[in-house]
Amino acid sequence: MLASLVATCKMSGVNPVDYIADTLRAILDGHPKSAIEDLMPWRFNQPSSIAA
């Protein structure tokens, strides 16, 4: 299952480590079950590499 998640992240152009860490953080912070689609790798918004 983890290998599939990592592969999905890579196909979506997402860093798997950042995605998993942010997703687990969102779940622990109480992300609503009704908005689970927002946590999918293809919806992941990576932080910009350019500091503001």
H helices of the chain, in order, are 2-11, 16-28
Q: What is the pLDDT along the chain (52 residues), one digit of tens a residue?
A: 899 999 999 999 999 999 999 999 999 999 999 999 999 999 988 665 544 4
- This prediction's pTM: 0.78
Residue 50: its pLDDT value, please? 47
CA–CA gap between residue 25 and residue 47 (Å, rounded): 15
